[in-house]
Amino acid sequence: MSIGSPVSGDADVVGGAGTDGGSACGPGLGRVGAVIGWADFGFGRVVAVVDVVAARVVVVVGFGRVVVVVDVVVGGGLTVSTRRKSVPQALPATRRRMAPAVRSGRRWRWGASRVMSTVDGTGSPPGTGGPDTPGTVSGICPNPSAGVLIPGAQGQKVHWMYTRPLESLSALTAPERQVGLPGGRAVEVIRTDGLTKTYLGRGAGPITAVDHLALSVRSGEIFGLLGPNGAGKTTTVGMLTTRVVPTSGRAVVGGVDIVADPARAKQVIGVVPQTNTLDRDLTVWQNLYFHGRYFGMPAGEAKQEADRLLEQFRLADRASTNVATLSGGMAQRLMVARAILHRPRILFLDEPTAGLDPQSRIALWEILAELHAAGQTILLTTHYMEEADQLCDRVAIMDHGRILALDTPAGLKRSLGADTIVRVGSEGDLRRLSAVLAAMEGARSAQVSGDGVLLYLSGPVARTLPRIFAAAEANGFPVTDLSVTEPTLEAVFITLTGKELRD
């Protein structure tokens, strides 16, 4: 918990003392170099900060939009003040210097911080080398893991203290960041930094499913996570949708820190999980209606939206039936309808077409394309390269919890540097065959894949095929199979990992 988070109620920083102070301040708090101890109880709107050196205790309690600050200086009296929340124009910072002793995994935590700068320009924000400038970090959104903010006064201005480096806060907790895009700018709606999930396996030792993932997804794009089963895609989506607690690292989704404030993050996401999670106790229509109610829609609006989406997803004739009677494709459409009903900033789909028949798959692709055209940001995971290729603006290829490559589908395929890929099936020492083929004219590279060799060629292929046969046979390799394809994402994956997507 931070003071700002619970007190402000709406992603603002608590403050409101403005620049007129408001509490009698001891000599230590707010002084650059002062060390403060802090405790975050995590169960409400209370934070206490103890400045041992200054013999001062500040307790801040939030009641809605009003903040009560109880400021006790030992031997100096007691001050109680109330103030309405507001976003301060300038925020000085502290950097955690002493061992933070943060009890990870717990709601409550405690630690010690050193004041690094103050609002009046004394000291320097970490990493900037210069004094804090009013307005420079006004986008900071406090959250439970962001640290502690202390309103106080040194006779002149409010002091704010953080337990994290300023730059990481401003980078990660700004509601929406402008990021550069070729030909323009777009808003970044998902950002992860060092996101890691390690499962403590029984007997087999810890398993790192996602390993220091750094990801940036922009507003309005369809972003694909492509990789084989076990690559860490579902765990990644699980973390971004608050269902999996990261072991370390941070992630901001739609402007909300998913670790610090998962309940709030759920407001901005829509999720279509891998399995059918429709509510079996409700009808098709009720699944949508109650979903709308969960997200705060009044009854009338939820009814309207449920009706509208059932029409649009061609499920109106099934409105009063139980969801257990739906086919796989219908259930998937209903889950997409449910996921977008509350107008999420980001729609997550985890293997959305796995197990669907081809017709249903195409129908779902059409729906996603329409959503994309209307500006919906979508992050989907898939192990179907065609899906990633056809739907996604950008694709991250994942394996063993890491991103191996990230680009547009065309860019990824271009990275192969080949116009054609010839797969030569054979027997024997395929590494030697690979070396033989790679030495041919027009060959960019060759790679062993399964029971054959992938040969990457540039230029026309027609006259090359007979030469491939000849070279293989001449070196004692019988050609058992030969196929020619355009560069694909599968080939990119094989190039990167040496194995096939469906391995």
Interface residue list for another protein (CB under 8 A):
6, 9-11, 199, 235, 238, 241-245, 255-256, 261-264, 266-269, 271, 273, 275-282, 286-287, 290-291, 293-296, 312-314, 327-330, 333, 338, 340, 342-345, 356-357, 359-360, 362-363, 366-367, 370-371, 373-376
- How far apart are CB 207 and another protein at their closest, in Å? 12
Cβ proximity to another protein, 156 vs 267, nearer residue: 267
Instruction: Classify each residue of 132-158 as buried b or exposed e, where b means 16 or more C-beta atoms within 10 Å of its C-beta.
Output: bebebbebbbbbbbbbbbbbbbbeebb
CA 460/CA 443 separation, integer angstroms:
11
Task: Please report how close the Cβ of residue 366 comes to another protein at its closest, in angstroms.
Answer: 5
- Of 204 and 373, nearer to another protein (C-beta) is 373
Shortest distance (Å) from residue 386 CB to another protein: 16
Q: Closest approach of Cβ 286 to another protein, in Å?
A: 7
Q: Which is nearer to another protein, 14 or 244 (CB)?
A: 244
Least distance in Å: CB of 334 to another protein? 11
CA distance to 287, 293, 328, 501, 502, per residue, from 385 (Å): 32, 37, 21, 8, 10
**Which C-beta is closer to another protein: that of 366 or that of 429?**
366
Longest dimension (CA), the chain: 96
Rounded distance between C-alpha atoms, residue 258 and residue 239, angstroms: 8
What is the distance in angstroms between the CA of the first residue and the CA of the last residue of the chain? 44
Check: CB of residue 427 under 8 Å from CB of residue 477. Answer: yes
**Ordered DSSP codes for 342-366:** T--SEEEEESTTTT--HHHHHHHHH
Closer of 196 and 434 to another protein (Cβ): 196
Q: Which is nearer to another protein, 119 or 141 (CB)?
A: 141
Length of the chain, in residues: 503
Considering the complex, what minimum distance in angstroms separates the CB of residue 333 from another protein?
A: 7
Query: Rounded to the nearest whole angstrom, what is the least distance from the CB of residue 281 to another protein in the complex?
Result: 5
Quick check: 51 and 103 in contact, CB under 8 A?
no
CA 492, 379, 231 angle in degrees (round to 5)? 50
Measure the CA–CA gap between 192 and 137, rounded to whole angstroms: 20
CB closer to another protein, 240 vs 422: 240
